[in-house]
Chains A and B, each alone.
Chain A
């Protein structure tokens, strides 16, 4: 079952519809409810390599629904410390729980100062209203 629309207040957001949960110098990232709803039921997650480095605002992988392919844009820079294999095996997990079980990648941040550039939930919701 697809999740109901929500945007947790404890997350940081990127304008390309990604979220980040900051834990010290690490971050868990994923895509927002809006992004998964726009794509429809996900059927494929092409993850980045474990140990590889991601650059903020650049593509780090892909998600696909039956009809569409979408680049994943990293909200932050860092090293991939974990890929969510549960989503590789069952991509629809992202539709069911985009901020919980449907996380995509965990990063060790190379520039924690970048967090300041992300949107808080109010700013992200405002951006959605303008879409």
Chain B
């Protein structure tokens, strides 16, 4: 039996009565009170997530820039020092080994924040990096009031070292919810003090359940569901994160696929009948649901899935096989949920 790993905040989660579940080898809170309530807190005020399970790789020194530039899909020269960038680690077939955020501290000094389930695969593909995951705790504070509650400010996709609520942190204007806010990286020993101080500011503790529904509403892909080593960024609609004019692993496959057009595309859809799509359900026109849930903000079933390129235009009708019952859905433009709808 494999032992589940615990973050420095495990006791805090247990004391709050969180429902703890196995996730990528970690024992993580899926919810504290209700996924719907936690989701709404992030959309309307502020919520905090323990995402200390995520992995951190660093690469510092001469050649760091060129090494990563040759292996990550996005162009590190599009950002300056102190900026963060969404990027992909691709394989020889153009498939997505992982999606990650690269933090450019200096031209030859990078921090990569990667998915918990992929730390080993990423470290193997980026063998010159150091795995420093054990040195970091990570809290995501998200929502329209998040920065005010923390008494700090940070622009999207920038970062700096700073003290937040008395704790020395890496403060980054990143997240996975579609809301303003930040992610705070700190030493594991400081995590409980930071967590307590954030909760004292009235920020709502939120679990991975709400994190999943929040990211789905704004159509951020989840690696392992919507993107994988068998799917390319072109199919997944992530061509914007691929600098095809530079050389990186699998780029020839992606250039060819972009020119020819992918056979299948990842689309967002909204149910037109009362039904909730789920991962793995069949799309009757050909294809598969990769993520599905009820949208807590729109109160309808929503999902992401791969369909034939001829069924990918917004407005196209799809039929989802919901445990033997065909249910009607409509392809929509991403994101499914937009702030303006408030």
Contact = CB atoms under 8 A, between A and B. Distances in A.
Given A41-B34, A43-B36, A67 B276 contact: no
B31 interface: yes
Nearest to A88: B274
A88 B19 CA distance: 26
B330 interface: no
B30 A67 contact: yes
Contacts of B323: 62, 69
Interface string B13-37: 0000001000000000011001111
A2 B294 contact: no
B293 interface: yes
A40 B34 contact: yes
A44 B275 contact: yes
Contacts of A88: 274
Contact of B31 (A40, A46, A62, A69): A40
B278 A66 contact: no
B299 to A, nearest CB: 8
B276 A41 contact: no
Interface in A74-102: 88
B274 A40 contact: no
B276 A40 contact: no
B70 interface: no
Nearest to B37: A41
Given A2-B34, A41-B35, A43-B36, A66 B296 contact: yes
B209 interface: yes
Contacts, number: 37
A66 B209 contact: yes
Contacts of A66: 35-36, 209, 213, 293-294, 296
Contacts of B30: 67
Main secondary structure of the interface of B (DSSP, over half): mixed
Contacts of A2: 34
A117 B275 CA distance: 34
Looking at B30, B36, B213, B323, the one whose CB has the most chain A CB atoms below 10 A away is B36
Contacts of A41: 34-37
Interface residues of A, number: 13
A120 interface: no
B31 to A, nearest CB: 7
Contacts of B36: 41, 43, 66
Nearest to A71: B323
Given A66-B209, A67-B209, A69-B278, A44 B294 contact: yes
Contacts of B35: 40-41, 65-67
Contacts of B19: 40
Contacts of B34: 2, 40-41
A51 to B, nearest CB: 19
Contacts of B294: 43-44, 64, 66
A44 B299 CA distance: 10
A92 to B, nearest CB: 8
Contacts of A62: 323
A127 B87 CA distance: 51
A102 B36 CA distance: 19
A65 B37 CA distance: 13
Contacts of B278: 69
Interface of A: 2, 40-41, 43-44, 46, 62, 64-67, 69, 88
19 contacts: A2-B34, A40-B31, A40-B34, A41-B34, A41-B36, A43-B294, A44-B274, A44-B275, A44-B276, A46-B275, A64-B276, A64-B294, A66-B209, A66-B213, A66-B293, A66-B294, A66-B296, A69-B276, A88-B274
Given A66-B293, A69-B276, 6 more contacts: A40-B19, A40-B209, A41-B35, A66-B35, A66-B296, A67-B30
